[in-house]
Structure formats: structure tokens, C-alpha cells
A and B are shown apart, each in its own frame.
Chain A
Amino acid sequence: MIADGPNGVCMKLRLDYPGFCLNVNLNLPGRGVTALFGHSGSGKTTVLRCVAGLERAPGGFLAINGQVWQDDANAIFLPTYRRPLGYVFQEASLFPHLTARKNLEYAQKRVPFKSRKVSFDQAIGLLGIEHLLDRRPASLSGGERQRVAIARALLTSPDLLLLDEPLAALDLKRKREILPYLERLHDELDIPILYVSHSPDEVARLADHLVLLANGSVVAEGPLHETLARLDLPAAFADDAGVVLDTVIGAHEDHDSLTRLDFDGGSIYVARRPEGAGRRLRCRVHARDVSLTLERAEHTSILNILAAKVVGAAATESPAHVLVRLQVNGTPLLARITRRSSNNLGIAPGLPVWAQIKAVALLD
């Protein structure tokens, strides 16, 4: 393996299929979760398969934190089995002839002792699968299978973790069951994770970095908060437009059963949270839940009113609405208001406004 490539996840991939052309050129952070987001057919799974070497983009280049995995200009192409990656497929991919334990051992024993970074106990502890080890995949639920599959991917001690819509085949209940484990991965692993998804909720909850794909090309890319707050995003998020706030629990106000969440530039109140002060919580504010006033409303039931400044506005899919980008000190916010209100208020860049937040979705 050649270890003088660029840092982070660097890829230049071009692949032509009849009726579809993938053309991506990305430099992604070397740690944290990067979400590849797009509709089905946007090429996100193909990107993942190219990174894994399951598909080969001719003339491509791919380097992971300095290690070159593909550089066709120099005739380098590592086959999949020589790439230190973990891959979790969309649907159950456990070997049906092996128990959960043997599936895990299959991965672990193929990694040389000295390059093992994740221990067996660590992997099963992280995913909470101790009690499933002696069962066959056929007797596990969809969520349990995916947890075993994720643990198995970890046991390869990967330098890069690839997750291809690991929750897509699961119902809402199973998703809820498995999401906390994915968050733990994010918090405890010091490797880059590429997460393919078409669910804005999953992206908002897990990602640090966002890549939006459409028809095989990158339409937007950048840190999650920044990218979500962009006005020029395609209809990808449409009704789901909104921003993500990374907050810290500031204080509990028990007489009103409220919890104050602080973020860079302000704070908001939500219903009392069970977590202690100081815990990090990520929440999502949908643009449709934010309204604007020119003066601070005194007699209102709305609890969260933030002083903000208009940065810009853009048309939305619906001709009746506009999307307004605001800045709350350092933090971007989006509001979706009617065109008529926008005209009445004289919304223009630089205008100071009050943003009234009707609802905050907590992502934990």
C-alpha cells in the first residue's frame, strides 16, 4: 500500500453506464460521518461501491487518509479484500450458514493480530448483541441482523466504514432501536464513515458533513450545518428544509418542566429532558416551523424567539412560499414564510428580525 496520498477521503470517480453517468470529485474529512444524500438513482450507492472496489471507475483516483487505494494513472487498484474497510449493506448480508458469533469471527480472524484495533468484546458491547451470539441469522430480526452486520464490519478494524442505507430495510421502530448504536459509532470511532441515505432525518441526526448527489453529480457539499442552511439546495430536502443545531444542555427549569439548550449564538427551551446538564444534544429546526416578526411579540405563546438578521431569500417549490436564510449570531437558521408576508415585512438582506420557533425536533 502506498502511504503518501492526501489526507481525508479523496476521490475522483467517473463511471459511464448506458443512461447514467457518475462523476464525482470529492475531498471529505478524515473523520466523522459524511452523509451521501440523494434520491434513488442519484449514484450514492455506486460511489460507495467504487470506494469499496466492488465497482471500478476507470481512470479513477481514491485515497483514504494517505493510503492510495486506486490510482489508475499509476496502475494501482487494490482489490476489495485488500482494502481495510468495513461495509454494511442495505439488506441482511450475514452468512446464513454461520451463527452470529461465527459471522463475527469470520471477520476478525482475517485481520492480522497486530492490526486489530477493535476487540471482540468492544464490538459486541458497542452494538449490544451479547445475547444474540449463538443464534443463526434466520432467527434474528431485521434490526438485530443489521447490528450484527455492523459489529462484523467493525471487527475488520477498518480505516474507513461504509454504510449503505443500513436502516432502509427496517421499520420505524427498528430504526429507533438501531440509531443510538450508530451514534455511538460516530462518537467512539476515530475513522471516517461514509453513510448513504435518502432520509433527511437520518442525515440530520448522524452526519457532520453532507454531500448531495443528483444524477451522478455532486450538487452541494460541505459541513452539515452550512450545507443544510443553503438556499440554493435543490428540492432534495423540499418540505424538510431546515437546519440542525448542535446544543448543550444549559440548565433544567424544573418549576416549568423545561430544559434550556445553549448553542453558538443563543438558547432555546424544550420540554424537560432526562439528560443532565452539559450533555450534547442535536436538534433540528424545520424552516416551516419558523415564523418572522419585525418587533418582538410580547403577548405570545411562542417560547423561543431569537434575534436574527436576514441573510437572503430564495423561491421554493411552492410559488406561495419563500425560504429565508437568517443568521442568529454565528448560527444559520431557515424560515419558510409566504411570499405575501415576505413582501409585507420587506424582507431583504441585513434586515433585523425576530425568529419565532414553533417547534424543535430533538434528534436524540
Chain B
Amino acid sequence: MDPGDLTALRLTLELATIVTGLLLLIGTPIAWWLTRTTSKLKGIVGTVVALPLVLPPTVLGFYMLLAMGPQGPIGRLTQSLGLGLLPFTFSGLVVTSVIYSMPFVVQPLQNTFTAIGERPLEVAATLRAGPWDTFFSVVVPLARPGFITAAILGFAHTVGEFGVVLMIGGNIPGKTRVISVQIYDHVEAMEYAQAHWLAGAMVLFAFIVLFALYSLQQNTRET
């Protein structure tokens, strides 16, 4: 691997780690709300969150590019906050990745929350636990397998981004050039040997992630 590959690798891991953290932070309340609410907005919010599942990444990337651009609502906001413009920056990648990978975090969380059911929450209430207390002392521990699944899926999905990255971040070494883009560049430049190394590493990574996930689910089912 050349230094460019290593930089891309480091950048990818950094991006995926930050995005996963943000996803759990933002996705958990969304998933909890979607599980518990009886609001009419539930259908709409659920659909919007799931949209990235079916949209081509380039479409999402295109709209995000416009939204974060100088005339877009996000762009105006970031400019007025003195943060400048997000496209072609690492931060821009983070913001877009969070939206892009959101369903992969919200859906497993929502499934686990639903599976926990009403009863443990009622029990906690009869034991004097308030809503926040109940969430952290009962829901989070019971939903642990869901959180792990959500984190792994969110991380892996962010690592695998390509279309969205190209639309938003372009291809700036050390700033927005992640592994998938790096592989693309190698192939473009007919450097198949180097592409092989990186691509092989990605296959290995995907295998390890999925294997970890399956054995983890096996374990939780047994206990």
C-alpha cells in the first residue's frame, strides 16, 4: 500500500467512527419516538428516515450538495454560523453520511425497542423509575444487541459509501478521499495490483463485520 492508500484508510475509519457515534446519538431518540408514538407524523417521519434505503446515492448526494451549497438552506445556516460551506469538506461528508446511513441504525433499534414490549416499562414504572431512568436502566440494557447491530451496520455502511462521497466530497486526498474512491482511482489509473490490495481488505472487512454480527446474534439468542 502506498501512503495515499493509508491516508484513505485512516480517513475512512475516522469518518465511519464519527458518523457511527452521531448516528447512535441521533438515531436512538428517533427510533424510540417511532416505537412509542401514536402521532400521525409517525408514517411520514418513518418514511423520510427510510428514504436513503431506496434512493440512488447520487440522488441523495445531489440534493445534499444543493442544500449545503451557498443558496441552500443548510449552506445559509452554516454560513451565518461562520462555519463556511460544507461541500468538499470532511464535515460535509459527516453530515451527509449521517443522513445516508440513518435507516441502518434506526431500523434495527426500532425493531429491538418494539421487541422489548410494554411490560418491562410498566414494571419499571411500578418500581418508581421515571421515564429517563427507565430508558437507561431497562431499555438500553435490554436493547444491547440492537445497539450493537445498529452500530456495526451504520459503521459498515458508511465505510462502503461511494456515490454520495463523490457528489459531496469529491476526491481531495487527506480530506475527502475515502477508500472506495481510492479504489476507483486505482482502477482508473490501471493500477490493478493496488486496487486488489484495497478491495481485498474491504472484502475481509465486510466478512469480519458480518461474521461478528451473526455470531453475536447467535450468542444473544442462547442466553
Residues of A at the B interface (CB closer than 8 Å) are: 52-54, 79-82, 85-87, 89, 93, 95-97, 106-107, 110-111, 138, 152-153, 156
Contacts and interface: CB of A to CB of B under 8 A. Distances in A.
Given A93-B119, A106-B137, A85 B126 contact: yes
Given A81-B130, A89-B119, A106-B137, A96 B142 contact: yes
A107 B127 contact: yes
B125 A54 contact: yes
A89 B119 CA distance: 9
Nearest to A112: B128
B129 A95 contact: no
Q: Which 6 A-B pairs have the closest CB atoms?
A: A87-B126, A80-B125, A110-B128, A97-B141, A107-B127, A81-B125
A152 B126 CA distance: 10
Contacts of B141: 97
A95 B127 CA distance: 11
A52 B126 contact: yes
B127 A79 contact: no
Mostly, the B contact residues are helix
B114 to A, nearest CB: 17
15 contacts: A54-B122, A80-B122, A81-B131, A81-B133, A81-B134, A82-B128, A87-B126, A89-B119, A89-B123, A93-B123, A95-B138, A95-B142, A96-B142, A110-B129, A156-B127
Contacts of B138: 95
Contacts of A54: 122, 125-126
A106 B142 contact: no
Interface residues of B, number: 19
Contact of B126 (A86, A96, A97, A111): A86
Contacts of B130: 79, 81
Nearest to B127: A107
Given A96-B142, A97-B141, A81 B128 contact: yes
Contacts of B142: 95-97
Given A81-B125, A106-B127, A156-B127, 17 more contacts: A54-B122, A80-B122, A81-B129, A81-B130, A81-B131, A81-B133, A85-B126, A86-B126, A87-B126, A89-B122, A93-B119, A95-B123, A107-B127, A110-B127, A110-B133, A138-B223, A156-B126
Interface in B94-147: 119-120, 122-131, 133-134, 137-138, 141-142
A80 B127 CA distance: 9
Interface in B66-95: none
Nearest to B134: A81
A106 B142 CA distance: 15
B112 to A, nearest CB: 13
Given A93-B119, A95-B138, A97-B142, A153 B128 contact: no
Contacts of B120: 93, 95
B128 A107 contact: yes
A79 B125 contact: yes
Nearest to B122: A54
Contacts of A52: 126
Interface string B138-182: 100110000000000000000000000000000000000000000
Nearest to A80: B125
B128 A111 contact: yes
A86 B128 CA distance: 9
Interface centre among A80, A96, A152 (most CB of B within 10 A): A80
A91 B130 CA distance: 23
B119 to A, nearest CB: 6
Interface string B3-28: 00000000000000000000000000
A55 to B, nearest CB: 10
Contacts of A153: 126
A51 to B, nearest CB: 11
Given A95-B138, A97-B142, A80 B123 contact: no
Nearest to B120: A95
Contacts of A110: 127-129, 133
A138 B120 CA distance: 15
B8 to A, nearest CB: 40
A85 B126 CA distance: 7
B23 to A, nearest CB: 24
B134 to A, nearest CB: 8
